[in-house]
Amino acid sequence: MQRSMTRPGNHVIKSYEIYADMLFRIALVHLGSRQDAEEATQETFIKLIEKVPKFKDAEHQKAWLIRVITNHCKTLLGRGWRKREVKLESAEPIAVDNPEELALLQLVMAMPMKYKTVIHLYYYEDYPIQEISKILQISQSAVKMRLQRGRQLLKLELEGAESQ
């Protein structure tokens, strides 16, 4: 039995052109690996093609894509083989011009998932708290609390790095 092969519509191609870079950055922050981030981005667009969700507007679609890739990253990080994975110190570095910016990004990437997701969406993607709340389907007070705790973790890490 052959599967029907249909070409993705223009809406998927257009969505890819608009959101692929942003989704890749979100996945890279969560997963810390270029290859895993590329796979997560690809899986997100495959889900878009398979599920064909109806969106109210562009912001609704963007929020849906962010939620799908965030959930996919959580799934990947929760797999047993990934927990046993050994990170290579010589892995491909992330391209950032400023060394201080790179150090901060590495600290964000090392944070627990619930903090780095909120911090990334707030500081790197410029989402307001209300939008983050809708995207992650958590309350605004939970977003504020995660931002506060994430900032505290970053502050402790930065102070620890300066004292060494």
Contact yes or no for 133/143 (Cβ under 8 A): yes
Q: What is the pLDDT of residue 90?
A: 43
Q: What is the pLDDT of residue 11?
A: 85
- Phi and psi of 54, rounded to 5°? -95, 130
Instruction: Give the separation between CA 141 and CA 152, rounded to whole angstroms.
Output: 16
Q: What is the pLDDT of residues 9-19, one digit of tens each?
A: 788 889 999 99
Find the length of the chain: 164
Whole-structure pTM value: 0.69
Low-confidence ranges of the chain (pLDDT < 70): 1-8, 80-97, 161-164
Helices and strands, number each (H, E), in the chain: 8, 0
What pLDDT score does 46 carry?
A: 92
64 CB burial (10 A radius; 0-12, 13-18, 19+) = middle
pLDDT digits (tens, 9 = 90+) for 132-146: 998 888 999 999 999
